[in-house]
Structure formats: C-alpha cells, structure tokens
Structure 1
Amino acid sequence: MDIRNVSVEDFLVWPDDQPDDAEAIKALIDAGRAQPDWFYVGYLDGRPSMRIGYRTSPFLANPAHSGTLSETRLFAVGREGTEHTDEYRAFIDATLPSGLPDDVRLLETRLRESKHADAETRATQLEEIGFRCLMEKTGYVRSGGELPPPRPGIHFKTVEDVGRDAFTRLIAIVGGDGLDREMAHYQSHMDIQHWAEEHVRYLGDQNDLLMIGYLDGRPIGLVGLNDPGAEPYLSFIGVVPDQRGNGYVDDLVRHGTNVAIERGWNPLRAETDMGNLPMRRSFERCGYRMEPGTRLWGHLLDI
C-alpha cells in the first residue's frame, strides 16, 4: 500500500465528499484539535482505498481534563468494497500521530448513516479488526402542534432562574446512572463532577433552554434544547434516579417539545441510544417517530 500524508484538500477523495467538509476539518485545525499533518490516504493499485484523519477529543482541549480522558478520534476511515479488513489495522498502526498526550490510549470513530450509505457495513468491518462498539444511536423527529402539558403540580425553572452551578450539580446526579453507553464511557474516564461541567459546557450557553422540572419543591429531572442557531433538537433529557419509574420522562419530553413549539421550532428532533428503551418509548408516546437514515455508530480501538 502507498500511504501518503496529504493536505486537507487532497484528503477528500470520496465521491460523496462535500466542499464544506474541508472547512469543517480546517476549523478543527484552527481550534488546535487536529494538526495539518494528521491526514493520510492509502492507495492500492494507484487508487485511493482508505483514509484516516485524526483529531483529539474536545475534552483534551481543556488542560483541566486532558489527563482524565484517554481518547483521540478517528476522523474518517473508508474503503471501496468490504474486503481486506486486515489492511485497516495496518493502515492505522502506520499513521498514528506522534506527539499526542501520554494518556491517549483509545481511538474513536463515528459512522453516521446520513453521511455514509454503507455505515452498517463499515461498523461491521471495524468490529472485525478489533474496534468495540461504544454506542449505537438513532434519531427521532416530531412535527405538529403542542402536546398536553406536564401533569398538575410539575413546574419548571431555567438555568437563568437557578444558575449553572445548580444545574451542573443536578446533571451529575442524573447523568451518573443513565442508560446512554457513550455517556457512561466518558464518565469512566473522569470524575463525575468534571464530566458534568464539561457536559453543561457542551450543551451551550443558552440558559433559558436548559430546564429543571420540580414536583413538591423537589427536582424530578432535566430537559434541554439546543442553541436555536442550529437545527432544533432535544439535547438532554434525564430523570433524577430516585424519581424514576413514575413516568416523569414523558413530562420532561412534553415540556421541552412545547417550549420548542412556542419558539416556532418545528419539526423538532431528538436522539437516543438504541438500548435506552424507556427513552425510546417516551418519544413514541409523545408523537416522535424514528427518522430513517439517522443511525449513528461509535466504536473504540485500544492503541
């Protein structure tokens, strides 16, 4: 195999690559999460057969947590056809970047059905060469009018009302015992409070879109919407552990959905782990339907 260290422009060798893909990669470089020499294309018989580009996890960009999350991300890996999976691993071993933080011990790759027509096949290939499945998620979408409000007695406060510290403390409680496999992986690499701080940062700074539900003065759960500058979706839903089993997840979904509708955000999307059956069933009860082409796989490889 002829392995070439390439520019961002020469990295885009697949027919389905888009012009804005180059801009997205350059943004990673500008943010310090990738280096210009971290992009490779492997050629067989003079044709591009596979490529790999590397970027660090967003958590590694934060010095406070760079020693607690052992991960870098495999940006793209692909091959025409489904044979010679052993060459994937050899390609990875030959191109791992030098100069990564000492604690980096894992590669992570994402495959999104909407971007990769053969995503499920690629996921199988990755598992054949030693990647283990981190998560499999699917998207939901809902259009239409408002849902019934949460049950009587349940009311909501935003982060504007309670402050980000209070929201962070509660998300540490809610997120520390959930069914999301990706979330559990990140938590296994850092202190739960640090994870909560990073996750709240990831959710954005729109404090009026991060909400806590209360019943009889006690918090029952959280619901968040993403920044309205992007495609609107429910970005976080979680029930306080000792309040689970009471159906409050439906109240959270209904409230978050209605807040979005009041702002004119319709349709509204959401995403959950395929294994999180309570969340999936709640979406379906609230009128969401599974959206074709939205499955997302995440895999990890020890290096």
Structure 2
Amino acid sequence: MTTLVVRALDDSSAHLFDTMPDPLAFRDKHRHTRYRADWRRIAVRDGRTVARAAWWGKPEDPEPLVINWFDVAEGEEEAGAELLRTAPWQTDELELDLPSGWRTDPRLRAAVDLRAAAARAAGYAPLVERFLYRWTPDRGLPARPGRLRFAPEPDDAVFLGLLRRIHSATLDAHARRAVEQGGPDLAAQQELDVFHWFPSPRAWWRIARTPDGETAGIHIPARNPSGPCVGFIGVVPEQRGHGYAYDLLADCTHFLAGQGAEFIAAATDRSNFPMAAHFTTAGYPVVRERINFWADAAAGAG
C-alpha cells in the first residue's frame, strides 16, 4: 500500500474536503454548520482522499470542542485512525450523526460500522446513542400547561446547586460519566461551563418554580455556533413524576421562537424514554440519530 499523506486544510485548499462520497449525508446534516478551514483535515493516498474529519467549536475558540464529521473510505480504517491520532487538538469527543433508521439499511449500517471501527482504532469508545430533533415553526408551538412560573436568575451559584441536585440522579450518559469521575460536583460544573460556552446571552437562563414557590427545575434556551438549540432541560429529583420536563421544554421552545428562531435543535439519549416522549408531544420530530464516542483526550496530541 502506498504512503498515506495527512494534511491540514486552509482557505485555499478547503475544497479538497468535499472530494469524498457522502453515504451518510453528512453534508446535508451540516448545511448550517460553519467550520474553520484549519479545523478540517484529510488523509490522501495515491491522490485520492480516503479519510476526512472536521472539528467544531466557536470560531474564536483556541481549540475545537468536538469532532462532528468523520468519513473513511472502504478498507481505510487505519487511515481514518491516523488522521485522528495525528491531530494537534486534545478533543475528547467524536460524534457520528446518522440518518434515522440506519440500522435496517445494510448499506448505511456498513458505512457506520466502518467509521466506528476507525474511531475505535484511534482510541475512541462508544459512550451513548442519541436522538436528534429539529423543531420548525410549521410544527406549531407546544401548549404550555401553565403549572410552573419561569424567571431568570443572575447568580451562577444557584444554577450550580440545582445542577448538583439534578445530576445526583440522572439518565443522561454524559452526566453519569462525569458523576463516576468526580461526583455531582464535577457533573454540575461541566454543565455550567457548557452553558457559559454558548454564545447566547446569560440572561436567557430560566428557573422554574411551582405556584407555591418550590423549585421544579431549569431550562437553558441557547444558541450554539450552528443556531438555536435547547441547551438543557432538568427537573430536580423531588419534583419528578409530574411531567414537568415537558413544561420546561414548552417554555424553552416559546422563548426561542420569541427570539425569532427559524428552527430549534435538540437531543436526548435514546435510553431516556420520558424525555423522548416529551419531545414528541412538543412537536419535535427525530431528524437524525447520533453515536457519541469518548476518548479522554487519548486521540489527540499528534
């Protein structure tokens, strides 16, 4: 086999990223995503691009947050792994955003298995599978039950305390992983760091209370670099069992629509059946599925 050449791209060579087939329709998935040219890399053999990856984050970030586009040609798993291993960034997470129903289509299943094998060879292990949602105004605004009162809260310490309580018992795989590493304190701080990372205003964050003043949970209407999104929905443990997550989601949707959102992206773990049901009720269709891989920065530092 001839020598593999891994190269970074820049503005003059960015077009080379688009020289591979796209069986998993990543181009359609990322039509709203804006990538820095220098956060995209390709692997070339005999003049043919055999692997490509794109790292994503805010344009002003010193390093990207995640790999969310990863393609590998048939038989080139090691080339894909080398592309990731030699990257200059310590990126813990890799996302494969996949067409819904990919498991039942042999062609799509083979394409997913190929990319997953390359990710594993680079040190990434599967963490969780998720549903991706996309609300649009034609779906109509979800009904508001009117059971909770929503208000901003300027004190980060209040949100941190509520996040500790929420993550003390959670179905979210990312939060559970953080709890295993450092308890609810670490999970809460990581979540708060993400909230601050969003380029949307801090004033958007909302706390929900019952009419008698008891805290029920929080929701974070947000914008990430690709557009409006449901940043977080969380109900404190002692208020669960009332379906309040739907109330939070409905209010979050109304809030973002009031800010002029032409779409709202959202996601939840496939295993989080209650939250998945709330998204369905609120008019959020599943548009893609995702496999999240995690590597504890083992794949970077090339």
TM-score, normalising length: structure 2 = 0.70
Is residue 32–residue 226 contact of structure 2 (8 Å, CA) maintained in 1?
no
Alignment equivalent of 1:202, drawn from 197, 200, 219: 197
Query: Which protein has greater RCO, CA pairs closer than 8 Å, 6+ apart?
Result: 2
Residue 212 of structure 1, aligned match among 207, 227, 250: 207
Partner of 2:51: 50
Change (3 A) 1:257 1:197: closer
Q: 2:245 aligned with 1:244, yes or no?
A: no
CA distance in 2 between counterparts of 1:48 and 1:226 reads 36
Match in the other structure for 1:147: 142
Residue 109 of structure 1 aligns with which residue?
94
Query: How many corresponding residue pairs?
Result: 268
1:204–1:213: structure 2 CA closer, same or farther, 3 Å change rule? farther
2:162 matched to 1:158? Answer: no
In 2: Cα distance, 1:150 partner to 1:272 partner? 22
- The one-letter code of the counterpart of 2:113 is T
1:281 and 1:289 map into 2 onto residues whose CA distance is 11
Structure 1 unaligned runs (5+)? 29-37, 63-70
SS in structure 2 at match of 1:2: coil
3-state DSSP of counterpart to 2:113: helix
Q: 2:249 aligns with which of 229, 240, 253?
A: 253
Unaligned stretches of 5+ in structure 2? 21-26
Aligned counterpart for 1:282 among listed residues 268, 278, 281:
278
Q: What residue is the counterpart of 2:72 in the other structure? A: 79
% identical aligned pairs: 18
TM-score computed with the length of structure 1 as normaliser: 0.69
Partner SS, residue 280 of structure 2: helix
1:15 aligns with 2:19: yes
Partners in 1 of 2:164 and 2:130 — Cα distance? 22
- The one-letter code of the counterpart of 1:297 is I
CA contact (8 A) 1:126 1:299 kept: no
User: Cα distance, 1:239 vs. partner?
Assistant: 0.9
Q: 1:24 aligns with which of 20, 36, 41?
A: 36
Describe the SS at the equivalent of 1:6.
strand
CA shift for structure 1 position 253? 1.5
What RMSD over aligned residues (CA atoms) do the two structures have, in Å?
Answer: 4.0
How far apart are 1:47 and its partner, in Å?
2.0
Of stretches 229-238 and 183-192 in structure 1, the one that deviates more from structure 2 is 183-192
What amino acid maps onto 1:200 in structure 2?
F
Q: Which residue does the alignment assign to 2:131?
A: 138
Provide the rounded CA distance (Å) in 2 between the counterparts of 1:239 and 1:194. Answer: 17
